[in-house]
């Protein structure tokens, strides 16, 4: 049977490719972004409690009430935004599902959705499956800052959505208050819907403040704010996230969600509710926890021929490998994995059109010290 693909540009994700290559060659996997250390013991205990207490059947489609209330309380505590837990919060099977739902809730065939390159690889397939077109606006190739004049110039009568991500994957760059003011000015007077991918919201360094769209009323009134418990609580395999949006947007979002996954892992929702309610210090201290890892890893990288770039937030370290090789990034990462036993992620899959001559790779430092030490020992030999 002749089948015409709906996603002609999509193959196996670079994360799967590099993790498989790492396994095949016994490499230290600093590619795919998952921690290799334990989740908080309190979270495990609460999950066990929830299962033993019988929370093992379908959760409500929008998420269990205790978790939605905990998220609302946290939004007020962190960002000063009052959120209605019944009409503005939906629990999803990971942030990727929330992003997909948000795109499909709003984008229609013929619409345009602006994305900022480099962008996480799930954005464009969701847009294409909705029949819309991704319009790529490049970030600065050195600093990954946004040129808001370029964003404004990309807006047309067909522009339906804009997707932003801070702290940014893959670079770790973060929006400033000036960025959020510029974004507000650009969107004012339009019907453009914003998707703000904030999965690394609590992993910020050096006294920086995460500029959530929830802090800015004009933005919050037109935004799907997406976050992830997997990133905050070191449990990416649990696949639980959520979206906060105004009631009208949430209503459309839930129409997609209920026919996508419908509901999300029930006992985990009760466990997260307890953690948010009783141990807010976990997310409040998460930046300091990861900053120690970032700083130590950067000090170690200075002993190699790789040049670490600044990392304001998130748990990825970009390195410039131009002193080591002239290979294009995908070839370099394959070579590094096979010949030197360290798996990294190239940046080119995050772009529509990668900058010419860019020699950057992404390493994940959300790892045990022994894992990072083993990787550095191999990288010193480059």
- Examine the fold and report which residue of 221, 246, 279 is the final residue of a domain before the chain moves on: 279
Model confidence at 301: pLDDT above 90: yes
Does some domain include residue 209?
yes
* pLDDT value of position 358: 95
Is 45 domain-assigned? no
2 within domain boundaries: no
In a domain, 47, yes or no: no
What are the Cα distances from residue 7, in Å, to 12, 15, 26?
12, 18, 32
Strand partners, 113: 134, 161
| 209, 81: one domain | yes
How does pLDDT run across 241-273, given as a tens digit for each residue? 999 999 999 999 999 999 999 999 999 999 999
Q: How many domains does the chain have?
A: 2
Q: Are both 64 and 203 inside the same structural domain? A: yes
Burial of 54 (0-12, 13-18, 19+ CB in 10 A): exposed
CA triple 34-332-174, angle to 5 deg: 50
Distances (CA, A) of 313 to 143, 209, 224: 13, 10, 21
What average pLDDT does the segment 76-102 reach?
A: 98
Same-domain status, 247 and 302? no
Residue 323: which CATH number?
3.90.1150.10
Beta partners for 165?
197
Looking at every residue in the chain, the average pLDDT score rounds to 96
Closest CA to 92 of 276, 198, 244, 220: 244
Q: What is the pLDDT of residue 88?
A: 98
Mean pLDDT of the region 209-229? 98
Residue 224 counted as domain residue: yes
Same domain for 269 and 300? no
Query: How confident is the model over 33-82, as pLDDT tens digits?
Result: 889 999 999 999 999 999 999 999 999 999 999 999 999 999 999 999 99
Residue 309 inside a domain? The answer is yes
Angle, CA of 269, 274 and 276, to the nearest 5°: 95
- Let me know whether 254 and 297 are in one domain: no
Tokens of 220: 């919050």
Q: Phi first, then psi: what are they for 341, rounded to 5°?
A: 70, 30
With a cut of 80, say whether residue 1 has pLDDT above it.
no
| Residue 120, pLDDT score | 93
Last residue within a domain, chosen from 239, 255, 279: 279
Same domain, 265 and 177: yes
Other CB atoms within a 10 A radius of the CB of residue 185 amount to: 12
Enumerate residues 6+ apart whose C-beta is below 8 A from 148. Answer: 179, 182, 183, 186
Same domain assignment for residues 216 and 252: yes
Both 245 and 108 in one domain: the answer is yes
Whether 206 and 297 share a structural domain: no
State phi, psi for 279 to the nearest 5 degrees.
-135, 60
Q: Judging by beta carbons within 10 Å of its beta carbon (0-12, 13-18, 19+), is residue 228 exposed, middle or buried?
A: buried
As a whole number, mean pLDDT of residues 97-110 equals 98
**CATH assignment at residue 196:** 3.40.640.10
Name the pLDDT band for 180 (thresholds 50, 70, 90): very high
- My answer on whether 192 and 326 are in the same domain is no
Domain that holds residue 117: 55-279
Written as six digits, the tokens of 43 are 């979270």
Do residue 317 and residue 214 come from a single domain?
no
Percentages of the chain per state (helix, strand, coil), in multiples of 5: 40, 15, 45
Q: Do the domain assignments include residue 46?
A: no
- Report if residue 9 sits inside a domain: no
Q: Which of 11-15, 152-156, 300-304 has the lowest mean pLDDT?
A: 11-15
Six-digit token string for 5: 């693909």
Q: Which residue among 255, 279, 303 closes a domain?
A: 279
Asked whether residue 61 falls in the same domain as residue 120, the answer is yes
């Amino acid at each position: 049977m002749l089948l015409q693909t709906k996603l002609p540009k999509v193959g196996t994700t670079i994360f799967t490719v590099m993790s498989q290559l790492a396994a095949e060659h016994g490499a230290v996997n600093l590619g795919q972004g998952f921690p290799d250390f334990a989740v908080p013991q309190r979270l495990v205990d609460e999950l066990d409690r929830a299962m033993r207490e019988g929370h093992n059947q379908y959760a409500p489609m929008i998420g269990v009430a205790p978790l939605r209330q905990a998220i609302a309380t946290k939004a007020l505590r962190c960002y000063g935004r009052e959120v209605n837990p019944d009409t503005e919060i939906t629990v999803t099977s990971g942030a990727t599902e929330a992003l997909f739902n948000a795109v499909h809730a709003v984008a229609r065939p013929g619409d345009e959705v602006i994305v900022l390159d480099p962008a996480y690889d799930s954005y464009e397939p969701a847009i294409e499956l909705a029949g819309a077109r991704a319009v790529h606006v490049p970030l600065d190739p050195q600093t990954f800052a946004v040129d808001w004049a370029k964003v404004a110039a990309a807006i047309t009568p067909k522009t339906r959505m804009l997707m932003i991500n801070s702290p940014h994957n893959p670079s770790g760059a973060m929006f400033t208050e000036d960025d959020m003011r510029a974004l507000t000015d650009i969107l004012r007077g339009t019907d453009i819907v914003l998707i703000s991918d904030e999965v690394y919201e609590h992993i910020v360094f050096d006294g920086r403040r995460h500029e959530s769209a929830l802090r800015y009323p004009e933005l919050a009134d037109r935004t799907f704010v997406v976050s992830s418990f997997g990133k905050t609580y070191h449990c990416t395999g649990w696949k639980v996230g959520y979206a906060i949006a105004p009631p009208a947007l949430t209503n459309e979002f839930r129409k997609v969600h209920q026919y996508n996954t419908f509901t999300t892992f029930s006992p985990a929702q009760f466990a997260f509710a307890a953690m948010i309610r009783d141990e807010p210090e976990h997310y409040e201290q998460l930046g300091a926890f990861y900053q120690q890892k970032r700083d130590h890893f950067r000090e170690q990288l200075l002993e190699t021929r790789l040049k670490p770039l600044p990392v304001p937030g998130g748990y990825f370290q970009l390195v410039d490998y131009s002193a080591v090789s002239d290979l294009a990034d995908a070839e370099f990462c394959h070579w590094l994995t096979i010949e030197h036993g360290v798996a990294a992620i190239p940046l080119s899959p995050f772009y529509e059109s990668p900058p010419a001559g860019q020699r950057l790779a992404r390493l994940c430092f959300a790892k045990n010290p022994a894992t990072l030490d083993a990787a550095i020992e191999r990288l010193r030999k480059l």
